[in-house]
Amino acid sequence: MQGSLINRLVERVQCKTPEVGDGATEYCYTDRDVYTVVEVSKSGKSVTLQADSVKAAENVDLGHQSWIIEPNTNGRKVVVTFRKDGKWKVKGTNFRIVRFGSRDYYYDWSF
């Protein structure tokens, strides 16, 4: 197993069906990135996400996990697809897993 234990455990839990406007979390090695669902295909098996803006909350120290997250209409777009293994993954990869229904940003300060 690679990456954070928490990320690997959460990836295994079934997530909600995506809808436009929902939050989404991409589980990376140890970090987590956040997005907003901007488009769902007619088949429901492909979803376009747009990266949210993330900035540190005020008056926090190095190592904090207090973030202000807001949708960003200029954020980069990413397409995710539903796979046979029951997981949503970034198109063109087999390891960047996405879950819908929350924005759970995490920055691993140890790297």
Per-residue pLDDT of the chain (111 residues; tens, 9 = 90+): 445 555 455 555 566 789 999 999 998 877 889 999 999 999 999 999 999 999 888 776 666 677 889 999 999 999 999 999 888 999 998 888 899 998 988 877 776
Query: In this structure, is the dihedral angle defined by the CA atoms of residues 96, 22, 12 and 68, taken in order, positive or negative?
Result: positive
Query: In this structure, is the dihedral angle defined by the CA atoms of residues 109, 60, 5 and 79, taken in order, positive or negative?
Result: negative
Query: In this structure, is the dihedral angle defined by the CA atoms of residues 44, 45, 50 and 51, taken in order, positive or negative?
Result: positive
Is residue 33 within 8 A of residue 53, CB to CB? The reply is no
Note the pTM of the prediction, 2 decimals: 0.81
* pLDDT attached to residue 63: 64
* pLDDT attached to residue 109: 77
Length of the chain: 111
* pLDDT attached to residue 110: 72
* pLDDT attached to residue 64: 67
Q: How many CB atoms lie within 10 A of CB 104?
A: 19
